[in-house]
Amino acid sequence: MTVEPSTLELMDRYWRAANYVSVGQIYLLDNPMLREPLLADHVKPRLLGHWGTTPGLNFIYVHLNRIIRERDADVLFVCGPGHGGPAMVANTWLEGTYSEIYPNISLDA
């Protein structure tokens, strides 16, 4: 099955957004959209999550979503809350389901 270039472009953009949101969760306390110059005070003193795990989980997530949409597949992606937690939070926040469960966390960052 061939994937349209426009679909791949959208998937790449989503994957990059998920990586950005994930790395912000891992490293930053404040200023995730970099609306001001990054300061040392914005960086967490203790990191939670693991960047090495995150891009791969985000990659799997975006491709599983494509398969779900194209094939109307029933899929359960099981991922523990440890090192991969930021990836799962990023993806569910981007797709809107995180804010459905936690309404105090809005989609407008």
Q: Is residue 106 part of a domain?
A: no
38 located within any domain: yes
Q: Is residue 108 part of a domain?
A: no
Residue 105 makes CB contacts below 8 A (sequence gap 6+) with: 93, 98, 99
> Tell me, what's the pLDDT at 109?
62
Burial 50-88 (b: 16+ CB within 10 A, else e): eeebbbebbeebbeebeeeeeeeeeeeeeeeeebbbbbb
The model's confidence at residue 55, banded by pLDDT at 50, 70 and 90, is: very high
Mean pLDDT of the chain: 94
Per-residue pLDDT, 48? 81
Question: What is the pTM for the complete model shown?
Answer: 0.91
Number of domains in the chain: 1
Which residues span the domain enclosing 73?
5-101
- Please check whether residue 26 is in contact with residue 48, taking contact to mean a CB–CB distance below 8 angstroms: yes
- Which pLDDT score, from 0 to 100, does residue 17 have? 98
Length of the chain: 109
